[in-house]
Structure formats: structure tokens, C-alpha cells
């Protein structure tokens, strides 16, 4: 039986980049090869593979109770451009390892368990996230993606059809038979590593608001315009960014705020910027506190704009509510960590995951393992083998409770 | 006899943009047509035109004393992309108007006077400024521009030759016969307009230092990295920009500081910038104070970098010393303004001009007229006809003193 690390290495061969990273964009050849290899692997591990029409792959360990709903584990098979070997992949291969070990050790479960390799989560080829899980749960269908194109202009539907998927291709649409979802994932942050914990038990996936702020002053000659005459959009914007950060510190963890993108117009060294456009990304696991924090920050922006004789437009273009994980499952995971003597902590997930889509339809839990240096979406992604196995152990224990004992 | 405004409108037809602006880039067809039209205009006004090998055009009003050095006035014929009708052009047509009026009224001067249409000042086609005046004074020669290309890859030398200029083309190289230069120019700032003055008497052309600051922190996930773990290059950079601006205010006028360009790496909304690169442009008419101000600002940058656990590299890539205008000429201009009852102020020039090149070789003065709303390098450049004429009047008066009375 392969170790989880060996399974990670094996899957990373599909879409391997030269620098040790992985690129598997939705419906590309490397993506298709990975899904087909996973289907073969499922068969060889005694799981029954099946694709749905969107390209999600499920490996089924049939339960003895034909009436029982399905318990699902897994994650997404797609990656970002030049991503790592662990993001998404870990949740899939951990599911394969857990199911095959359970079957080898205990035979067929009472309730059916499946491992999912969701076709898409990252939104890195088409401007659409969570296609795999939203298709499966019925939260999205073909009309939601019919106008999407990739950067080369290839329509989403065409890419899907050319890859062998699409309406009617496999006779499997959205599912209603799932009552539990457990996602194992790398943390993609440095909290577990810094605190020396093996397991993170996700309590919430944070809510997220994203804004574009457009600051307008007056473009002018950098040499001939005295400081006192200026309506410098860059001066105003820099004070705004500093104020947003100070405000995030004051509000305190787990709130985070990020300014990741900024454009200066006209953007030449000898012209005072007449306009500056920047983004703000704000996250908090509590929806009300997130709302309050954003309102406080926007008020700050407006007062700075006024002081600097600039105007601002603030546009909110993303507003995702926090999603709670199932308290009962979370408690069960905590007890399992204690039983196994794994150090752990409860924590929010600062990143989005398929689990937040599934949580709308069934009880859902998420388990994190440490990311070295907190690095993700990079060839440098790494998690120690013992942490990979610890996650699989907790997943096995939980699935045993849910599918064999219950 | 045409008014100065009519001459401005006439010259603006060469390289006219559809929106009322002007684009005359060095050695292009519109540039060549403008220089040829100016040569014809000189002839029709009784001035003797001559090109030098670089494409500078001179219109000569021969003095009666063959031993006397030459008094030069004028400015540059080239423009920025989509520039205005007044920048550069005003100094040329003002010279034409002044010389032809002086000749009509007083006949030949004792000392020779010439009006120059310098071929290039803006650096807007090739990455090289002041080609016209540096060629004429001998401060630059062909080897300084031999490796320069325009954005389409056309070599400077090739463009020069195709336009009919270059080594030996006109048998005229650098000149040693000039002992005075007077440049009339639009202010390109709003000081004269705001203070209700007609004439600006330039005392110095400011010194300028330009820096590129590279702030390095650590790129990280915007959701999974707590504020307290961050080494956010953007947070540090925004505090730096705000501090530079506050410092410029504290030091006070005439110091100016501008951050016109900034790049965030990687530059996406959901990643904490690991690196931010920005420019600082600092100007002051006093070289020592400029040096002190820059040192103070860089010290601030370093202390902010330290506080934010970021590193910085500061590269100075431009360092132009301030240039004083001739005190005697400046005084003469002031007395002429008083005599003519023109409101005026002494002031620095915050922008660079051909006068700063000429000042290294001969006594030099600069006269400003107001720019509406301080706008320049734009189709919206505008100066009232009475201000255009007031500038020409002062120039005529000064040239009369220097060439007829002296």
C-alpha cells in the first residue's frame, strides 16, 4: 500500500512543471490525464469510479445498507498556474488512502463512502470558481458558465465538450444522496506550523468582501506644482492604505485586510497621479464583524479623501458570507485528535474551499494539516509525511465512526 | 504683422492632432514640415535661416558690428505625444515676432540676434533630452545618442539621416559665438495665474533627484496569513509615500516631492504584495537643501522599512543640479516689467528647459507667462493673448537694450 506522500508524488506527475510545481487547468490534457489516472487508481484500490457530466470523479466504496445516504470526502483536482503538489490533491489522495485502508481492514461499511476529485475549484482557467462542487450540489448549472471564456478565448462549454464532458455525456448530473462531506486540505497558512500543531480543525470558512477604490485628484506637473496646490491622488491613496492596515490591527485577529493591487494614472515619475485605483480584500469568520470592519474602513477612506481634496468611488464586487462547519463533526474530530494524541487547534479557514459549497447542502467538516512556511500556490508547497499521515488517520477514524459504527 | 497668438496657431498646424493638441516628435514628417515652415517664415520676416547638422534652425538678424558675439533667443520645436500648442512653440514664435518688430522699427541691431528653433528638448521620441541645445553648445555629440532607439526600434542616427540631418549635412556643428540666451516659455504651472501675475522671472531652474525605491517583504495568501505574521511590502510602501509627502510639507516650498509610479508584485487582490517598487521625484532650486531633503526622506524610508520588517533598496538614477539664471539679466527683466507696468514675480522653474543647458556656456535668462490652470503637455494648454504679447514686449525691450543700446 502506498503512503500518502507516494500518492501525492504519483498524482503530481500529471501536469508536472519543470520546477517541481504542477499545472492542471480545467479540461486541459494534463487535467484529463490526472482524472483518468485517478479513475484507474480507484479501480485498483477496490473503489468503483464514476464521472459526472461536469467531469467530477467519484470513487465509491459501496455500503451494505442500500438505503443509506452517501458520505463524501475529497477535494479538487485542478490547480492554479504553476501551483504545488498538495493543494486539492492532498484531499483526494487522502480519501483514496483512507477508503482503501478502511476496506482492507474492516471490509464494506454500512453506509456508502465516496471520494471525490472535484473537477474545478481554483478559477484559474475560466473566471468561475467552484464549478465542480456547485455543479454537483446543483448550486450552478451550464447556464452559469455558458458565457465564460479562458484567456485564449476558448468558451467554457467548448472546452468541456472537447474534454469529453458536458450535458448528457455521462448521464450523471447533480446529486441529492450526500449527507456528509469531509474535506482534508493543507492549511495554506503558517498558523499550525508556528504553533507546532499537527491538525487544524476548521470552525468556519471566513466571509470575504472585496472592494475597488477609485481615488480621483488632479494630474499635474511634478516640478511646477507647489505641494500646497496639489490634489495628489497617490498621497491620498497611500494614507488610505496605511489607515486600512492600522484599522485592521486595531480590530484585531482574526480580521485580515489586504491591498494587493494598485494602479496609478498616468503612472510616470514626473506627473502627480490624477487617479489611483486599488483593491481591498477583507476577511473575518463572523459576518457581522466583517460588515462592521468594512464600514469602518470605508468611513476612514472617505474622511481621508475629504482631507486631501480628492473624490472616491468605492465599489464592492465580492461579498461572500462566512460558512460554519458542522459543530457535531468538529467536536468529533477534536475528540479523535485527543484520542490519537495529535496536537491540534480550532481555527477559521482564511481561504475558500469546496467545503463552503457543500456546507449549504449537508453537514460538512474540514481538517487542515500544516503548510511549510505557510506557502501555497507555489512549487514550494510542502507538508511533512507524518502530517500527511496524521490527517489521513483522523479522516479514517472519522469515516469509521460515521460509516461503520453509526 | 501677425499677432503672437496667430503665429502660435499657425505653427500648431504642423503636427496638429484631432483634439486640438500637437504632436511633433523629433525627425518625423510633422517635425520636418514645422522646421521648414519656420525657415520660410524667417525669410519672409527678413531673417536669414540656417540649419545646423542636428536639425536646429536659426533665424539671423545680422548686426552691424561683425565682431560682436551673437544674442540668442528661442526654444524647442518638438512636443510630447499629444502635447499643446504653447510649450516650446511660444519661445520660437515670440522670438520671430520680437526680431521682426525690432527690425521694422529700428533697423539692423549693432549686435547680431538670432532666434533658435531647437530640434529637440522633450525626450519624447528617443530616451534623450535636450539634444538640440546640447548639440549646439557641444555638451553632447553623435556618440551620446548612437545607441538610442525609439519605441519602434528606429535608431536615433537613422532617423536623423532620413530627415536630412546628421554629420556634415549642413556644415554646421556646435557654436562658440553665443554670449547671451533668453528663453521665453509658458510657466507650465499655476503660480502666476493664482497670484494674478503677468510675467514670471526665473531665478533658478530647480535641481532634481529621482529615485527608485524597492521595498521587499514577503508575498503571502491574503486569507490565511494573520496581520501579525505579515511582512506586507504594500503596507510599508504606503507608509513611506505618506511620510515622504509629510516631510515635503514640513520642509516647505519651494521643495516638491512626487510619487508618480508604483508597481506591486505579484499585484493580485488576494495576495499580500511581497515587493513594491516606486519612484520619488524631489526638486528644489537650492542644491544643498535638495540634498538635505533627499537624505531626510531616505532616512524616513529606512526607519519605516525596519519597523515593518521589510528591506529596501534605494537607487538614485537622476541627479541634476539647480542652475542659476544670470542675475544681471534677471534684474534687467525686473526693471523692464516695472517700466511696462507688468505685474511679475521672481520664481524658480520647477521644470527643465533648454536654458539650463545654455546657462553652462553663456549668460542666460528665462521669462515665463501664465498657463491657464497650470496645464501643460496637454491639448488644454492655453495662455491669454495679452500675456503672450506681454512676454514678447519684455523680450523686445531686453533685446533692444542688449543688441541696439549696448
Domains of chain B as residue ranges with CATH: 4-205+322-405 (3.40.630.10), 207-320 (3.30.70.360)
ipTM computed for the complex: 0.91
Taking contacts as CB-CB distances below 8 angstroms, the residues of chain A near B223 are 189, 206, 208, 256, 281, 283, 349-352
Round to whole Å and give the CA distance between A403 and B377: 74
Determine the Cα–Cα distance for residues B32 and B388; give it in Å rounded to an integer. 25
Longest dimension (CA), chain A: 83
Distance of alpha carbon B210 from alpha carbon B242, whole angstroms: 17
- State pLDDT tens for residues B177-214: 999 999 999 999 999 999 999 999 999 999 999 999 99
Q: CA of B47, closest CA in chain A: separation in Å?
A: 34
Picking from A185, A212, A227 by the largest number of B CB atoms within 10 A of its own CB, the best residue to mutate is A227
Mark yes or no for CB contact B237/A235 under 8 Å.
no
**pLDDT at A224 (0 to 100):** 95
Q: Which residue has the cell 536646429?
A: B56
Contacts A268 to B, Cβ<8 Å: 260-261
Q: Contact, A94 vs A113, CB < 8 A?
A: no
Q: Which of B249, B260, B269 faces A273 most closely, judged by CB atoms?
A: B260
Residues from chain A that touch B304, judged by Cβ atoms under 8 A, are none
Contact A376, A84 (CB under 8 A): yes
pLDDT at A139: 97
Is residue A60 scored above 90 in pLDDT?
yes
Whether pLDDT at A406 is above 90: no
**Chain B residues near residue A249 by CB distance under 8 angstroms:** 227
Within chain B, which residues score under 70 in pLDDT?
none
The three-class DSSP label of residue B304 is: helix
Across the interface, do A257 and B191 touch by the CB < 8 Å criterion? no
Beta-carbon contacts of A74 under 8 Å, excluding residues fewer than 6 positions away, are A91, A92, A95, A114, A115, A116, A117, A118, A183
CB–CB contact B261 A242 (8 Å): no
Residues of B in contact with A185 (CB under 8 A): none
Q: Do B222 and A260 touch (CB under 8 A)?
A: yes
Contact B261 A264 (CB under 8 A): yes
**A76 vs A121: CA distance, rounded Å:** 6
Give the 3-state secondary structure of residue B59: strand
Q: A245–B222: do the CB atoms touch at under 8 Å?
A: no
For chain A, the three-class secondary structure string (H helix, E strand, C coil) is CCCHHHHHHHHHCCCECCCCCECCCCCCHHHHHHHHHHHHHHHHCCCEEEECCCCCEEEEECCCCCCCCEEEEEEECCCCCCECCCCCHHHHHHHHHHHHHHHHHHCCCCCCEEEEEECCCCCCCCCCCCHHHHHHHCCCCHHHHCCCECCCCCEHHHHHHHCCCCCCCCCCCCCCCEEEEEEEEECCCCHHHHHCCCEEEEEEECEEEEEEEEEECCCEECCCCCHHHCCCHHHHHHHHHHHHHHHHHHHCCCCEEECCCEEEECCCCCEECCEEEEEEEEEECCHHHHHHHHHHHHHHHHHHHHHCCCEEEEEEEEEECCEECCHHHHHHHHHHHHHHCCCEEEEEECCCCHHHHHCCCCEEEEEEECCHHHCCCCCCCCCCHHHHHHHHHHHHHHHHHHHHHC
Mean per-residue pLDDT for A360-380?
Answer: 96
Where is B349: in which H helix or E strand? strand B344-349
Q: How far is A203 from chain B (nearest CA, A)?
A: 14
B170 in a known ligand binding site = no
Q: Are B348 and B254 in contact (CB under 8 A)?
A: yes
Place of cell 487522502: A94
User: In a mutagenesis test of the B interface, which of A124, A223, A272 is the best target, namely the one with the most B β-carbons within 10 Å?
Assistant: A223
Place of cell 454500512: A110
CB A164 within 8 A of CB A187: no
Give pLDDT tens digits for A314-352: 999 999 999 999 999 999 999 999 999 999 999 999 999
pLDDT at position B406: 82
pLDDT one-digit tens code per residue, A226-279: 999 999 999 999 999 999 999 999 999 999 999 999 999 999 899 999 999 999
CB atoms within 10 A of CB B361: 18
3-state helix, strand, coil in chain B (%, to 5): 35, 25, 40
Beta bridge partners of A116: A58, A74
Distance CA B97, CA B16 (A): 22
Choose the closest CB to B234 out of A220, A241, A271: A241
SS3 assignment, position B221: strand
- Burial (0-12, 13-18, 19+ Cβ within 10 Å), B104: exposed
Alpha-carbon distances of B29 from B34, B77, B165, B345, rounded to whole Å: 9, 13, 13, 39
| Residues from chain A contacting residue B253 (CB–CB below 8 Å) | 226-228
pLDDT of residue A33: 98
CB-CB contact of A26 with A125 (8 Å)? yes
Mutate to test the interface with B, among A242, A251, A253, A271 (most CBs of B within 10 A): A242
Residue A65 has pLDDT above 90, yes or no: yes
- What is the least distance, in Å, from the CA of A115 to any CA of chain B? 26
CA dist B49 → B36, B63, B71 (Å): 10, 15, 15
Contact yes or no for A253 and B221 at CB 8 A = no
Length of chain A: 406
Closest to A285 in 3D by CA, of A328, A315, A316, A251: A251
Inter-chain CB proximity B253 and A189 less than 8 Å? no
Q: Among A99, A98, A58, which residue's Cα sits nearest to residue A77? A: A58
CA distances from B326 to B110, B330, B385 (A): 22, 6, 28
Interchain pair B241, A220: CB under 8 A: no
Beta bridge partners of B209: B282, B319
pLDDT by residue (tens digit) across B78-121? 999 999 999 999 999 999 999 999 999 999 999 999 999 999 99
| Percent of chain A whose predicted confidence (pLDDT) is above 70 | 100
Amino acid at each position: 500500500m502506498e503512503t500518502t506522500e507516494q500518492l501525492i508524488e504519483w498524482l503530481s506527475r500529471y501536469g508536472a512543471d519543470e520546477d517541481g510545481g504542477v499545472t492542471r487547468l480545467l479540461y486541459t490534457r494534463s487535467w484529463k490525464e490526472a482524472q483518468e489516472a485517478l479513475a484507474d487508481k480507484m479501480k485498483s484500490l477496490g473503489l468503483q469510479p464514476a464521472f459526472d457530466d461536469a467531469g467530477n470523479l467519484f470513487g465509491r466504496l459501496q455500503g451494505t445498507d442500500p438505503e443509506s445516504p452517501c458520505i463524501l470526502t475529497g477535494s479538487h483536482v485542478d490547480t492554479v498556474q504553476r501551483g504545488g503538489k498538495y493543494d486539492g490533491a492532498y484531499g483526494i489522495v487522502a480519501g483514496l488512502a483512507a477508503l482503501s485502508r478502511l476496506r482492507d481492514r474492516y471490509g464494506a461499511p454500512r453506509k456508502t463512502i465516496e471520494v471525490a476529485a472535484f473537477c474545478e475549484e481554483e478559477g484559474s482557467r475560466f473566471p468561475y470558481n467552484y464549478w465542480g462542487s456547485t455543479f454537483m450540489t446543483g448550486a450552478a448549472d451550464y447556464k452559469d458558465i455558458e458565457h465564460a471564456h479562458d484567456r485564449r478565448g476558448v468558451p467554457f462549454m467548448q472546452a468541456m465538450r472537447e474534454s469529453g464532458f458536458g450535458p448528457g455525456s455521462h448521464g450523471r448530473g447533480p446529486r441529492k444522496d450526500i449527507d456528509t462531506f469531509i474535506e482534508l486540505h493543507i492549511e495554506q497558512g503558517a498558523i499550525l506550523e508556528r504553533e507546532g500543531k499537527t491538525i487544524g480543525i476548521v470552525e468556519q470558512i471566513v466571509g470575504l468582501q472585496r472592494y475597488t477604490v477609485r481615488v480621483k485628484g488632479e494630474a499635474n506637473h511634478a516640478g511646477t506644482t507647489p505641494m500646497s496646490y496639489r490634489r495628489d491622488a497617490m498621497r491620498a491613496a497611500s494614507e488610505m492604505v496605511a489607515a486600512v492596515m492600522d484599522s485592521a490591527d486595531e480590530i484585531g485577529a482574526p480580521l485580515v485586510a489586504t491591498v494587493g493591487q494598485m494602479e496609478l494614472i498616468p503612472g510616470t515619475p514626473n506627473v502627480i497621479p490624477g487617479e489611483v485605483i486599488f483593491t481591498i480584500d477583507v476577511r473575518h469568520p463572523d459576518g457581522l464583524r466583517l460588515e462592521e470592519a468594512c464600514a469602518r474602513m470605508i468611513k476612514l477612506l472617505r474622511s481621508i479623501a475629504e482631507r486631501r481634496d480628492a473624490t472616491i468611488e468605492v465599489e464592492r464586487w465580492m461579498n461572500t458570507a462566512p460558512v460554519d462547519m458542522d459543530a457535531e463533526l468538529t467536536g468529533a474530530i477534536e475528540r479523535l485528535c485527543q484520542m490519537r494524541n495529535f496536537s491540534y487547534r480550532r481555527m477559521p479557514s482564511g481561504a475558500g474551499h469546496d467545503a463552503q459549497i457543500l456546507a449549504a447542502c449537508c453537514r460538512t467538516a474540514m481538517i487542515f494539516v500544516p503548510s511549510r512556511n505557510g506557502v501555497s500556490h507555489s512549487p514550494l508547497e510542502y507538508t511533512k509525511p507524518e502530517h500527511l499521515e496524521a490527517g489521513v488517520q483522523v479522516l479514517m477514524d472519522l469515516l469509521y465512526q460515521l460509516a461503520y459504527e453509526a
